[in-house]
A and B are shown apart, each in its own frame.
Chain A
């Protein structure tokens, strides 16, 4: 009907190679128009420092912090293979274990509580998520007070049970768990928000179906909730690991890497090398090492964990 009566469409000229190239160039230019702000920002704050760090790693520093002799890969070999870096790596690894796993468990627990259909539940959601809006400095000061060996809450609790007082932040065995506790608390809000979002995206029908199928609370959690949360779980694991590797503020305020280097994670040792010892060469080598470590770890997590992840 309409086909026979409609005006024939005007025929467009076929694009030649030149016209095609021009069109591509145009769309590239158009794309760059959108990209340049982030390219500029990344260049100034990421790409330039990264290249500069790799470059600085090839030079020794004199005691005043000036660029010294070119030593090439020797410095990389000696620093990354040295006992100092290995110790920091081990501390960082422990710190990651202490923060990521409990962070996931607690975050999921809080998210499940906050996901209940109760009146005024949004008040609880806000409280659970509030650590997102807390700065590292504020959180650290808060925990410094709570962990204070004479006036802190922990001391008070120990006193109630007649236990000897503990100076957690000055005890080489307890300092790292104490800093980890602060970090868990600090990152809990983010984990809770992300898990809550994940929980809310699970269709109610699946739970109803599981109810009819005879799955109890535990069965439903195990066979429906957890598998459906796997992408969220991957995200929280990767982000939590990166956050753990990058932790600095709480360590700086609570322990300054001590006691006896018990909390001297890689980032903090970089800070000490660069801004206390003014050894920019060593600090740069460690920074580059940390960069590739986090990159590799994240790639490995995405690769191995993603196999177990179900995306809808």
Chain B
């Protein structure tokens, strides 16, 4: 059993609240990603698990033990730091063997475990080298190897890929997924990169200003973001938001605002009718917008807009439109090629809309 439980964890640094009443259970053998912008408290949360910081309030449980008063070295965890924190004066072998040496593991056993980890990570020819003689990717592997040889029940990773170049990052991402599958231990992985979070996490916990916003499977986080922050943080380019007023029309509701006029479905009308004030924040993802024509179907929302900028990525074009007060981002097929200043009709399906309470920012479930 190597679950990790944050039970109402709060951490203050003087006046600053780094982690704010965080309650979260990381399941045994789970790959959980802590995601958020820089300064959201995700690294602090991880360091509290590692025992490098003490929580101001709350309980931290690893396995079945409350570990608040247990030293870092006795928590049965291993940590991979962003800058790897390899001992620069030790060889790769000694770096990997250091924790075992401190625990008085016999020399042969140390050597055996280092060799085994080195072989799986492709480091076996580099064991005599010093960290300075390694590339960034190799150093990253040594940092991983150093964690693996300890056979911990929880792996803690603090943005381990952020010092790698883009290509290596993609490759290492896959290797980490495989590693997790092979080791069958709990991984807690901190990142600000939503792509890493989406591709690697079995669940993602999103933090903002030290507070947990949502914890769910990546697809759920994408499809049903819990609030405006999560909706805007996950997805690239970010979700478009419109402010709309609700009006009665026939037996349903009509959302109007920012040049938008959306006839809502029965289910949507019913959900939005519960709002205290007749206004709503509407979100639509850039990838759900397409170019439309005047003969659009009635359950499609239509919006007239002017092309502002076009960024062509080859496989698609990312286009920024403006319609008076707001700007809209869309990911469109590469053809037809749009020109700046061109007037177009944008179309998006009604069932792809997200609704949020404009007061609280919370999602309004319409399904």
Contact = CB atoms under 8 A, between A and B. Distances in A.
B122 interface: no
A166 interface: no
Contact of A212 (B78, B83, B132): B78
A contact patch SS = helix
B72 A211 contact: yes
B312 interface: no
B52 interface: yes
Contact of A211 (B52, B83, B87, B90): B52
Contacts, number: 60
Contacts of B71: 211
B222 interface: no
A230 B81 CA distance: 24
B98 interface: yes
B73 A211 contact: yes
A212 B87 contact: no
A15 interface: no
Interface string A124-140: 00000000000000000
B278 interface: no
A223 interface: yes
Contacts of A213: 73, 98-99, 102, 146
B176 to A, nearest CB: 19
Given A205-B85, A224-B87, A310-B89, A214 B132 contact: no
A203 B89 CA distance: 13
B307 interface: no
Contacts of B228: none
Contact of A205 (B51, B77, B81, B89): B81
A139 B83 CA distance: 46
A251 B51 CA distance: 54
B301 interface: no
Interface in A91-128: none
B334 interface: no
A280 to B, nearest CB: 50
Interface in A188-223: 203, 205-206, 208-216, 219, 223
Given A213-B73, A310-B89, A312-B132, A205 B98 contact: no
A258 interface: no
A223 to B, nearest CB: 7
A103 to B, nearest CB: 24
B17 to A, nearest CB: 21
Given A209-B79, A213-B98, A223-B87, 6 more contacts: A208-B72, A211-B52, A212-B72, A213-B102, A224-B87, A310-B88
5 nearest A-B residue pairs (beta carbon): A214-B73, A213-B99, A205-B85, A310-B89, A214-B102
16 contacts: A203-B85, A208-B50, A209-B79, A209-B81, A212-B77, A212-B99, A213-B73, A213-B98, A213-B102, A215-B98, A215-B102, A224-B87, A227-B87, A227-B90, A230-B89, A310-B89
